[in-house]
Structure 1
Amino acid sequence: MLSQRQQKILTLIEETSRVRVEDLAQRFATTPQTIRKDLQVLADMHRVVRFHGGATLLGGVEYTPPSEREGTGRDAKRAIGAAVAARLPPTGAVFLNAGTTTAQAVRMMTGARQLRIIVDNVDLAAEIRALPGIEAVVPGGAVRRSDGAILGAEAVDYVRQFRPDYAVIGAAAVAEDGGLLDFDLAEVQVCRAMMAHARHVVLAVDSSKFSRSAPVRFGALDDVDTLVTDSGAPDWVSTLCARCEVDLVVVPV
Structure 2
Amino acid sequence: MDDLTPRQERIMQRVRQDGFVAIDGLAEQFEVTPQTIRRDVNQLCATGLLRRHHGGAGLPSSVENVAYRARKVMQLDAKQRIARALAAEIPDQASLFVTLGTTNEEVARALLQHDGLRIITNNLNVATILTNNPTFEIILAGGVVRPRDRGITGEATIDFMRQFRVDFGITGISGIDADGTLLDFDYREVRVVQAIMAQARQFWLATDHSKFGRNAMVELGHLRELDALFTDREPPEAWQGQLRDAGVRVVVADQQ
Compute the TM-score of the two structures, normalised by the length of structure 2: 0.76
SS in 2 for 1:228: strand
1:82 alignment counterpart: 84
| Cα pair 1:169 1:204 within 8 Å, conserved | yes
The corresponding residue for 2:213 is 211
1:188 Cα offset (Å): 1.0
Further displaced range: 138-147 or 235-244: 235-244
Partner of 2:199: 197
With over 3 angstroms needed to count, the CA separation of the structure-2 counterparts of 1:242 and 1:147, relative to structure 1, is same
Summarize the Cα distance change of 1:16–1:180 in structure 2 as closer, same or farther, 3 Å threshold: same
Label 1:84 to 1:64 Cα distance change in 2 as closer, same or farther (>3 A): same
Superposed, 1:68-79 pairs within 5 Å as 68-79=70-81
> Counterpart in 2 of 1:173?
175
Q: Which amino acid aligns with 1:169?
A: T
Q: Distance in 1 between matches of 2:244 and 2:108?
A: 28
Equivalence for 2:16: 18
Paired residue type of 2:71: R
Post-superposition shift, 1:168?
A: 0.4
Q: What's the secondary structure of 1:165's corresponding residue?
A: strand
AA paired with 2:162?
R
Residue 136 of structure 1 deviates from its aligned partner by: 1.5
Distance between the aligned counterparts of 2:242 and 2:165, measured in 1? 28
TM-score, normalization: structure 1?
A: 0.77
Distance (whole Å) between structure 2 residues aligned to residue 112 and residue 176 of structure 1: 36
Local SS of the residue matching 1:211: coil
Q: Distance in 2 between matches of 1:111 and 1:13?
A: 40
- Give distance in 2, aligned partners of 1:162 and 1:63: 29
CA deviation after TM superposition for structure 1 residue 13, in Å: 4.9
Deviation at 1:195, TM superposition (A): 0.8
Residue from 155, 158, 161 that aligns with 1:156: 158
For the Cα contact (< 8 Å) 1:17–1:211, is it kept in 2?
no
Query: Which residue identity is paired with 2:252?
Result: V
Aligned to 1:221: 223
The secondary structure found in structure 2 opposite 1:140 is: coil
Cα offset, 1:94, TM superposition: 0.1
Q: Is the 8 A contact 1:238 1:248 kept in 2?
A: no
How many percent identity over aligned positions?
Answer: 36
Q: Distance in 1 between matches of 2:74 and 2:159?
A: 33
1:187 aligns with 2:185: no
- In our comparison, the structure showing a higher alpha carbon Rg is 1
Query: Is the CA contact (8 Å cut-off) linking 1:231 and 1:252 kept in structure 2?
Result: no
Query: Which structure 2 residues correspond to residues 1-253 of structure 1 after superposition, within 5 A?
Result: 13=11, 17-19=15-17, 57=59, 59-109=61-111, 111-231=113-233, 233-253=235-255
User: Quick one: structure 1 residues 191 and 61, their matched pair in 2 at CA, closer, same or farther if it must change by over 3 Å?
Assistant: same
Q: Deviations over 1:127-160 (max 9, x none)?
A: 1112232222111111011111101101000000
- Whichever residue aligns with residue 226 of structure 2, its letter is V
Amino acid at match of 2:164: F
Change (3 A) 1:65 1:59: closer
For structure 1, which runs of at least 5 residues remain unmatched after alignment?
1-11, 21-26, 29-46, 49-55
Task: Report the AA paired with residue 97 of structure 1.
Answer: T
Shift in CA distance, 58/74, structure 1 to aligned 2, threshold 3 Å: closer
C-alpha distance in structure 2 between counterparts of 1:82 and 1:14, whole Å: 27
Question: d(CA) in 1 for partners of 2:67 and 2:133?
Answer: 24
With 162-171 and 63-72 compared, the bigger mean Cα shift is at 63-72
Structure 1 position 193, deviation (Å) = 0.6
After alignment, is 199-208 or 91-100 more displaced? 91-100
Counterparts of 1:233 and 1:76, CA distance in 2:
14
